Structure 1
Amino acid sequence: MIERQFVTDGVIALLAALTGKPVNERTVPIDPATGKPVPPPYTLIDPLDHRTDDNTLADAHTTAVSEYQATFVSGAVPGVPDSRGGPRQSQWLADRGRKVVQRPVDGGAGYAHALNIPGVSCYWREAYEAGGTSDPADGIITSVIRFRFFLEETGA
């Protein structure tokens, strides 16, 4: 059976590598040096559905479909008084996050960026825009993408 926490850890690591910004599950990331929340920009990951039934009579639960919502959060520009998050910054993060589904430029099989989950391979990925906030008065603007990962155990 594919354990959800390993999938979540892999998704967080992949998005952190692609955006170059902190990523955390459901709560604001914490700066390990200070023990305090990091200021935006960052990404929040919300695990959604995780189905392990492949609807066959002999289902051994060796596959799973995991869904996540990634909220790309903009924020004030460091050192700029009265600055706020904006749509360009949240879209910049979302554009980098969308690379989760990027294919290799040489036309090869698979995906350009590895989703590392011990003993599991991801044979299909999907991403679609799910909205966000757009009111500049909020001070923080977000872009939201939902990801779906089709997984199978590799036995490795």
Structure 2
Amino acid sequence: MVTKSVAQLLATTTGKPVGLGVVPLNPATGQPYPPPYTLLYPLDHNSSDGTLADRGAAAVSEYQATFVSGPVPGNSDSKGTVEQAEWLADKGRTGVMARPADGSPGYVNPLTIPGVTCFYREAHDAGATSDENDAIITTVIRFRLHLEASA
């Protein structure tokens, strides 16, 4: 449930498809979407967050989002660009981390998980490929989500 919700949040905020560990497929054609797109990988999940007051109802889940730029289909002279990968990563980071402009608590873009509230989010840039001679360029961000059972 959490993974699908994170994928939906990234797809909504970037406006581009997200694949869960694989290149996303267009459901209408069954063919892979061309870049740009995001690959999402679940990493660590820790149900012991070290707090004493929540009766063990909290957890921390970590995800890696790999933002992919690549050649334009049908154009053999095209290739991925750093700018495109960074643009997509910026949209993903901003979309996940944006706080309300009025200073109210929470996040602008909800992470909708039935029975779960995400009370804190972290983003860490984890690296990128930057050789523009490569056909595909990527930027990686790791998101850490602090979750608790909803009342």
TM-score, normalising length: structure 2: 0.92
The one-letter code sitting in structure 1 at the alignment partner of 2:103 is: G
CA contact (8 A) 2:119 2:147 kept: yes
CA distance in 2, matches of 1:112, 1:78: 34
CA distance in 2, matches of 1:145, 1:119: 26
Taking only aligned residues, the RMSD between alpha carbons, in angstroms, comes to 1.7
The residue number in structure 1 matching 2:144 is 148
The residue number in structure 2 matching 1:14 is 9
1:110 aligns with 2:106: yes
> Alpha-carbon deviations, 1:94-131, whole Å to 9, x = none?
01001201111111111111001111000000001100
1:35 aligns with 2:30: yes
CA distance in 1, matches of 2:98, 2:51: 30
Q: Which runs of 5+ in 1 are unaligned?
A: 1-5
> Alpha-carbon deviations, 1:77-97, whole Å to 9, x = none?
356541111011001100100
Inter-CA distance 108–60: structure 2 relative to 1 (3 Å threshold): closer
Q: How many residues align?
A: 150
CA distance in 1, matches of 2:116, 2:102: 24
CA distance in 2, matches of 1:57, 1:93: 38
TM-score, normalising length: structure 1: 0.89
CA distance in 2, matches of 1:58, 1:105: 30
SS in 1 for 2:108: coil
